[in-house]
Amino acid sequence: MRIGILGGTFNPVHFGHLHIAEEVLSSCDLDQVWFLPTCRPPHKTLAAEVSFADRLAMVEAAVAEQPRFFANDLEGRRGGTSYSVETLEQLRRNYPQDEFFFIMGLDSFAEIDSWKDYPRLFELAHLVVAARPGFYGSLQQFLPVAIADRFCYDAESENLRHQSGFSVIAVRQTSRDVSSTEIRRRVRQSEDVSTLLPAAVIDYIRQHRLYRNMAGASAQPEKKKG
């Protein structure tokens, strides 16, 4: 199977995540997209200290009615800091017959040389890089200089072909500009979030009273790195 991998804190999962998963599912002709909540993100503190179990449950609620989307608890079961290279290596061991497409935003791709063992990522899966609101440029522009000689560039598609045989694929459609930080602020202040979150996720947040006690919480946006 051709499987998309969408990782993140999902704190909470929102329509922006679902939108980019739908775009990549279609543009890359995937069979499924797996959502992998990070256990402990590198380089940062998880805002509001929402547990892995709660974040996984919100993803399960969000994808319940999409038959080709699935929540995956691999990083929670492994525990510790969640590094993408370790996740992809484990997926390749567990599912050697499948082809993986690792999904990220262009802003994350521009910083990929700060990720753990980043050259190895290009040897494990296709990387699917989606445009982000307010962040533009070509894949070639943001490719780390240290590994640029390992790629061939297709100017027409704007894709990069790695010497391993995997590709870096540009998705030109811009994902919806939805901020988890803004969602948490709205929930904390009892404002409407119905245009930002699936109803099932809103119900879960209400039932478990998430994001209510966040006085002094960091306002820095969460982004999975590594």
pLDDT one-digit tens code per residue, 74-111? 999 999 999 999 999 999 999 999 999 999 999 999 99
| CB-based burial label for 67 (10 Å; 0-12, 13-18, 19+) | exposed
Give ∠ CA 10-72-93 in degrees, rounded to 5: 130
Q: What does the DSSP assignment read for 146-182?
A: GGGGGEEEETTTTEEEETTS-EEEEEEEEPP---HHH
Domain residue extents for the chain: 2-208
CATH superfamily ID and name for 2-208? HUPs (3.40.50.620)
pTM as predicted: 0.92
**pLDDT computed for residue 174 by the predictor:** 65
Cβ atoms of 193 and 216 within 8 Å: the answer is no
Residue 148 φ/ψ, nearest 5 degrees: -60, -30
Q: Residue 183 belongs to what H/E stretch? A: helix 180-188
CA distance 172 to 136: 10
**pLDDT tens digits along 206-223:** 999 999 864 434 334 455
For the chain, the residue count is 226
- Of 37, 176, 167, which is closest to residue 102 (Cα–Cα)? 167
Given a cut of 70, is residue 152 above it in pLDDT?
yes
CA distance 138 to 116: 23
Expressed in percent and rounded to 5, the helix, strand and coil fractions of the chain are 35, 20, 40
CA distance 195 to 146: 42
**pLDDT tens digits along 15-55:** 999 999 999 999 999 999 999 999 998 877 777 779 999 99
